[in-house]
Amino acid sequence: MTMLSLSSSPHHHNRRDTGQVMRLVCYAAIPGILTNVWFFGFGILVQAAIAIVTALVTEGVIMELRKKKTERILKDYSAVLAALLLAISIPPLAPWWVIVIGTFFAIAIVKQLYGGLGYNMFNPAMAAYVMLLISFPVQMTSWLPPLSIAEQSHTLWDAIHTIFTGFTSTGFSVEQLKVGVDGATMATPLDAVKTALLQGYTVTEAQEHIIFDGQYGKGWFWVATAYLAGGLFLIKTKVINWHIPGSMLAAAALLSFVLFLLDGDQYASPLFHIFNGSLVLGAFFIATDPVSASTTIKGRLIFGAAIGFWVIIIRNWGGYPDAIAFAVLIMNMTVPLIDYYTQPRTYGHQSKARKSS
Amino acid sequence: MTLFADYDEIIERISVNQLWDFPGGVHPPQQKALSNQSNIETLPLDKTFYVPIKQHIGVDGRIIVSEGDSILKGQALTASEAPFSVPVHAPTSGIVKKVTEHVSAHPSGIPELSIIIDADGQDTWIPLKPVADYAKTGKSELIERICDAGISGMGGAGFPTHIKSNNTKPLEFLIINGIECEPYISSDDRLMREHAWQIRQGIDILVHILQPRQVIIAVEDNKPEALETMSIACQQKTNYQVVSVPTKYPAGGEKQLVQVLTSREVPSDGLPIDVGCIMYNVGTCYAIADAIVEGKPLIERVVTLTGKGFKSPKNVWARLGTPIQTLLKHGDYDDSTQSSPRFIMGGPMMGFTVTSLLTPIVKISNCILVPADNELPHPDDERACIRCSACSDACPASLLPQQLFWYSKSKELEKAEEYNLFDCIECGACAYVCPSEIPLVHYYRQAKADIRNQREEKERSDKAKIRFEARKARLQKEKEEREEKHRIAAEARKASLNKDGGAAKDKIAAALARAKAKKEALAKKQTQNDALGAPAPESDKTEVASIDEVSTESASSQTSAKTTNETEQAKPVLKSTANESSDITAEEDAEAKAAAKKKRVAAAVAKAKAKKLAAKQIKKENNES
Ligand code: SF4
Ligand code: SF4
């Protein structure tokens, strides 16, 4: 008799696998990345390319060493996604070795040392980001002003040249590129506000400063909007749930709004917080990393909201202008606890009341 | 505090078709159109049938035919003797060829006792005895008829229908399940479309038996024709309501359907009746009408033949016991579509692959699904869980499938139980959505089996332990009683000893005295003998005398030991304790014996001394004389 093939139910499966999920997240980041290129030059593309190559090589070598099916694991695209997220989080013209070290750390240490995909407690991209921020503070905070107001525009070749040699093809350093129209070194809006506040200015005064002259903040605003669009696409296609980004943005907005009401001179408005820095990117692409986020519905709401609060708290009172990475890592640590205490009520449990009546 | 809607609210919402929802659920492609287009066909009569004697949950009936018997169509092959047993009947007339083990319609395919029947081609019915007017027939008689007709739930679980129907608790809703939420299957759909009237009759009978306040006939909204035929069949009945339920898998699960219709949740350790509901599948209603109105036992059912492995998918009336190879032939199974043949009994979500083409159709077999190679993916590419929670979002029981998986895989079974593993209805929604293609249900089944085994083992060892403890306690008590008795006896002995003023001393003295006396007597005798001129071997005689004495003594001590022994054994001792008690007695015996021996030795020494002395004296006397 012919051998019959036996398998266990269900025999049906929907057609989206892990690789597709990860790929969809990568695709959803494309509008944000392109907007970033439009406003800030090609640096981000070069960083992404370096990061992805590093990630694949690192993961491949480790898989070989651990004698796993290399090809299958590379195909799950999780390494690519982690690399991409790190690449779009760091300054576009940071030296090449920064992203290489960061990506290697994310894949080899944060992900594989914990047992590979699904076992890592921390978000690899964010853990690597924090490591880089602590190890190379100068390179990690060298953000450029938008091209529209920069002295020097830079081409793709410039970007490559700068990332690998530290100078553009025409001989400018990153420091020089950072110099704005009035000859003063420029920072990101978050940075600028923080610095201005320390110098005794009010938020309004800081924002009236030239860098916000309809120009500087603009790039950041559009990049955030593009990531928002990508994020909504992910929710629409059910790759992510709305719970984490929703509660995270809501909590950040709520806290910043309360603070803004209390003292508008000291605290920036919710809109400022949402559209500057990587809050939107973080909400849709980073905090939603399934592996290191909470898994229950209530848990996801708590997880997201807590990240939102932390971001605003660290931005206002902490030492770093942007705070997504720290907030995400802090909350990653609490996930087991959150998950444990937010288990849903199983069907048929506690319906005893009815039974006795 | 009831979280749940009361009767009036439910009625109100149902009348405007505003139902509740259950959490999770999935929407796999329906594929019903493959098989639901044509009327149900009847299979030509097969040559051989394999009728398993147990096709339901519960215990088997007693086989009442033997090999070689001629039987008629509908004749009972087994008798229901236990409450949870349901008989099976001959699917056609013919001869009982064999009663033997045959591959079962179960995922394991483990052989089970089956009656193999050779058809004679006549297909002659037994005389049928329909109930003339069920409305004038008592509830218990109807229930008995249902049992005798061999009816068990035909929706999936195979629960004996007569047990379910013997309800005494207050019943609000009689729910008729025409959901059929599994993709591909259309047997209930066709049955409702073509035989709505008979289903309605079955419902009427159930209403007569159960007296519910309201009947709800639930049909998924992807079966508009069935909804219509059922509505027409039930339109004169005011308390029958045909309800259209939104299509979502697994809306047809008993617990989910109760929740959708009433918002109530069946307690995790309870039954639907605990929330005022009882549910029957439409196929079961059809069979009940057949049994009561026609007097026909359950010998056939509608089976869907579907999947792209069939050239002509359809629904057929298949007799119970028909091997699936017959159905394959009838649906024009095309083996070129499959590189590694896979035949699924049931639907793609909960069905199982059969191990043999001789697997018979049983009361719960609603579908034979033969997918073409590319139709349903083989889930053999399991990857690591990425904690995406797609599974918990899909779970209709609000479980955390990913945690269950984690603990099931690592065999942390208590943890799995803590996460309510046993509330999993194995619907497969979680595994369906898992992007890592983890066969989650498979892990749960394994874990459940492991836990059941552990429980059984624990129960066994617990029972053994209880038995052991009880025995130990009993022995301990007996030992204490015995010791107490011994102590009292010993005290008594001591007391009597004291009264005697040292029996042992006395004994020795007495022995000595006796020896002396004997010696004297001997001496006298000797003198007499000497005088008579017949010298006796003196030493011999003294020896004999002393032995006599010793044996008397030991005999007396043995007697005393024996008495204790006897008193002990005389009291009723359970067999199991006999060994131990005899051990103890042996020990005590040994002690007693040792003491006696000492005494005897002392006595013997004394006697020997006396003898020596006596001998000397005799010699002396002799010499003197
Ligand atoms: S198989 Fe069990 S765990 Fe999975 S979705 Fe169904 S009930 Fe939930
Ligand atoms: S759906 Fe699969 S991969 Fe996602 S959490 Fe559940 S088990 Fe893990």
Range of the domain at B146: 1-30+129-295
Q: Are B328 and B370 in contact (CB under 8 A)?
A: yes
pLDDT at res. B134: 92
Number of C-beta neighbours around residue B36 at 10 A = 25
Q: Are B353 and B342 in contact (CB under 8 A)?
A: yes
pLDDT of A24 higher than 50 = yes
Chain A nearest-CA distance from B349, in A, is 4
Share of chain A above pLDDT 90, in %: 41
pLDDT at res. B354: 93
Number of domains comprising chain A: 1
Assess if residue A68 is contained within a domain. Answer: no
Chain B residues 336-365 with CB within 8 Å of chain A: 340-344, 346, 348-357
pLDDT at res. B563: 46
Assess if residue B466 is contained within a domain. Answer: yes
A72: which chain B residues are within 8 Å (Cβ-Cβ)?
381, 383
Residue A122, CB-side half-sphere exposure with 13 Å CA sphere: 24
Query: Taken in order B151, B153, B155, B157, is the CA torsion positive or negative?
Result: negative
Query: Is residue A97 very low, low, confident or very high in pLDDT (cuts 50, 70, 90)?
Result: very high
B149: domain CATH number is: 3.40.50.11540
Task: Single out the residue of A329, A301, A327 nearest to residue A314, CA to CA.
Answer: A327
Option in A11, A349, A357 nearest B344 (CB): A11
Q: Cα–Cα distance between B482 and B487 in angstroms, integer?
A: 8
Mean pLDDT for the stretch of residues A31-59: 91
**A19: nearest CA partner in chain B:** B435
Query: Taken in order A188, A189, A194, A197, is the CA torsion positive or negative?
Result: positive
Backbone angles phi, psi at B240, to 5 degrees: -105, 130
Assess if residue B59 is contained within a domain. Answer: no
Number of C-beta neighbours around residue B493 at 10 A = 12
Helices (runs of H) and strands (runs of E) counted in chain B: 16, 16
> Do B244 and B142 belong together in one domain?
yes
Number of C-beta neighbours around residue B604 at 10 A = 18
**B385: nearest CA partner in chain A:** A118
Is B259 close to A347, i.e. CB distance below 8 A? yes
Is B342 close to A78, i.e. CB distance below 8 A? no
B357: which chain A residues are within 8 Å (Cβ-Cβ)?
1, 4
Q: Does B409 touch chain A (CB under 8 A)?
A: no
Test the A interface: residue of B10, B375, B398, B402 with most A CBs within 10 Å:
B398
Give the N- to C-terminal CA distance of chain B in Å, as an integer. 123
Chain A nearest-CA distance from B397, in A, is 5
Is B4 close to A21, i.e. CB distance below 8 A? no
Q: Does A1 touch chain B (CB under 8 A)?
A: yes
Q: Between A217 and B546, whose confidence is greater?
A: A217
Backbone angles phi, psi at B234, to 5 degrees: -105, 10
Q: Which of B436, B459, B491 is the last residue of a domain?
A: B491
Was B434 annotated as part of a binding site?
Answer: yes
Test the A interface: residue of B389, B400, B405, B436 with most A CBs within 10 Å:
B389
Query: Is residue A180 very low, low, confident or very high in pLDDT (cuts 50, 70, 90)?
Result: low
pLDDT at res. B404: 95
Assess if residue A75 is contained within a domain. Answer: no
Assess if residue B558 is contained within a domain. Answer: no
Range of the domain at A293: 197-340
Q: pLDDT tens digit string along B569-603? A: 444 444 444 444 444 445 555 666 666 667 776 77
Assess if residue B176 is contained within a domain. Answer: yes
> Do B266 and B158 belong together in one domain?
yes
Assess if residue A145 is contained within a domain. Answer: no
Query: Taken in order B266, B272, B273, B276, is the CA torsion positive or negative?
Result: positive
Helix (H) or strand (E) holding B101: strand B94-102
Backbone angles phi, psi at A40, to 5 degrees: -120, 5
Q: Which of B491, B513, B543 is the last residue of a domain?
A: B491
Task: Single out the residue of B327, B307, B329, B308 nearest to residue B317, CA to CA.
Answer: B327
Q: How many angstroms separate the alpha carbon of residue A334 from the centre of ligand 1?
A: 26
pLDDT at res. A116: 79
Is B341 close to A5, i.e. CB distance below 8 A? yes
Assess if residue A105 is contained within a domain. Answer: no
Assess if residue A270 is contained within a domain. Answer: yes
Assess if residue A6 is contained within a domain. Answer: no
Assess if residue B47 is contained within a domain. Answer: no
Assess if residue A201 is contained within a domain. Answer: yes
> Do B276 and B424 belong together in one domain?
no
Q: Are A94 and A103 in contact (CB under 8 A)?
A: no
The set of residues, in sequence order, having a beta carbon less than 8 Å from that of B138 and lying 6+ positions away, is none
Q: How many angstroms separate the alpha carbon of residue B604 from the centre of ligand 2?
A: 93
Residue B517, CB-side half-sphere exposure with 13 Å CA sphere: 7
Assess if residue B417 is contained within a domain. Answer: yes
pLDDT at res. A205: 65
pLDDT at res. A208: 60
| Residue ranges with strand state E in A81-179 | none
pLDDT at res. B612: 66
Q: B267 in ligand 2 pocket by Cβ < 6 Å?
A: no
Q: Cα–Cα distance between B266 and A348 in angstroms, integer?
A: 5
Assess if residue A110 is contained within a domain. Answer: no
Q: Which of B295, B314, B335 is the last residue of a domain?
A: B295
Number of domains comprising chain B: 2
**Residue ranges, chain B, pLDDT below 70:** 1-3, 379-380, 499-508, 525-597, 601, 604-605, 607-608, 610-625
| Residue ranges with strand state E in B346-477 | 352-353, 367-369
Query: For the ranges A12-26, A228-242, B258-272, B490-504, which has the lowest average pLDDT?
Result: B490-504
Q: Whose CA is nearest to atom 4 of ligand 1?
A: B430
Q: How many angstroms separate the alpha carbon of residue B255 from the centre of ligand 1?
A: 13
Assess if residue B438 is contained within a domain. Answer: yes
> Do B144 and B289 belong together in one domain?
yes
